[in-house]
């Protein structure tokens, strides 16, 4: 099902409908400042399970936590002042930050790693949904042929594998709702910066420039 939204004036009824869906374990497709993302509520295990099955990905490195505010990072991941300042400088924007998770995060989220990718997208639709839901979204990039197997983690995604129009995502079985702004979506992917070690390293070059 497609719901059309105006990014600068998103209908409260559509937001409420989307939040209810995510709270029931549903999967939605949202535009971001890069490409389309498939999302579920981070705190609903059924939604996380469905998203992993739909994407055919088992490696957590393919998934990203989408937040609406940098304060949400601190609930799940560890940041010192240097990392905080860098993230604040680059957010919202097309950057994923790999951070060490806090003690207990892996168990709470069902992760097998002590790091997580996290970002704040520069797009009003996901920001509004996250803020209304009250918790980050668990997300994966929407790609053609989602179930043909896992790609190498952090590898660049060919442009032809990404979507432009929301109507194209109707072919992905398992997506319950598509929020479409009616605009052609960028077919780009985020820059991934690993902040989990002593030095910053670039795991994937994307739409966000680095070094600055």
As a whole number of angstroms, the distance between CA 194 and CA 86 comes to 12
Supply φ then ψ for residue 73, to 5 degrees.
-55, -45
The reply to whether 212 falls in a domain is no
pLDDT of residue 104: 67
pLDDT of residue 112: 65
The reply to whether 211 falls in a domain is no
The reply to whether 80 falls in a domain is yes
- The pair of three-digit structure tokens given for residue 31, joined into one six-digit string: 């535009």
pLDDT of residue 142: 92
112 DSSP assignment: S
Which CA distances in Å does 112 have to 49, 59, 105, 116? 14, 9, 10, 10
As a whole number of angstroms, the distance between CA 133 and CA 99 comes to 23
188 DSSP assignment: -
The reply to whether 91 falls in a domain is yes
The reply to whether 62 falls in a domain is yes
pLDDT of residue 140: 93
- Split into its structural domains, the chain has a count of 1
* pTM reported for the whole predicted model: 0.92
Domain assignment of residue 168, given as a range: 2-204
pLDDT of residue 17: 98
Asked if 161 and 144 touch (Cβ cutoff 8 Å), the reply is yes
pLDDT of residue 55: 85
pLDDT of residue 137: 96
As a whole number of angstroms, the distance between CA 122 and CA 93 comes to 5
pLDDT of residue 62: 79
Which CA distances in Å does 175 have to 17, 22, 65, 95, 117? 15, 11, 18, 25, 22
Q: Which CATH number is 154's domain given?
A: 3.90.870.10
CB count in 10 Å sphere of residue 167: 11
Which CA distances in Å does 166 have to 38, 47, 92? 12, 21, 22
The reply to whether 210 falls in a domain is no
Mean per-residue pLDDT pooled into runs of 10, the chain (212 residues)? 93 97 98 96 92 81 91 89 96 96 70 84 97 95 71 77 92 94 89 94 95 87
Asked if 203 and 64 touch (Cβ cutoff 8 Å), the reply is no
In the chain, the N- to C-terminal Cα span, in Å, equals 40
The reply to whether 209 falls in a domain is no
């Amino acid at each position: 099902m497609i719901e059309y939204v105006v990014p600068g004036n998103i209908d409260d009824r559509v937001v409420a409908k989307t939040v209810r869906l995510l709270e029931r374990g549903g999967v939605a497709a949202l535009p971001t400042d890069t490409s389309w993302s498939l999302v579920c509520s981070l705190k609903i295990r059924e939604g996380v399970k469905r998203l992993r099955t739909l994407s055919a990905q088992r490696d957590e490195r393919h998934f990203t936590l989408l937040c609406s505010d940098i304060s949400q990072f601190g609930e799940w991941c560890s940041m010192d002042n240097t990392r905080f300042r860098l993230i604040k400088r680059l957010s919202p924007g097309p950057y994923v930050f790999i951070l060490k998770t806090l003690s207990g995060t892996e168990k709470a989220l069902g992760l097998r790693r002590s790091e997580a990718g996290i970002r704040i997208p520069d797009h009003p639709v996901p920001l509004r949904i996250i803020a209304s839901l009250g918790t980050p979204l668990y997300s994966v990039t929407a790609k053609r042929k989602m179930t043909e197997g896992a790609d190498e983690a952090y590898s660049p995604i060919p442009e032809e594998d990404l979507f432009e129009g929301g109507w194209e995502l109707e072919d992905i079985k398992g997506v319950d709702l598509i929020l479409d702004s009616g605009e052609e979506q960028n077919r780009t992917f985020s820059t991934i910066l690993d902040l989990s070690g002593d030095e910053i390293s670039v795991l994937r070059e994307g739409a966000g420039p680095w070094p600055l």
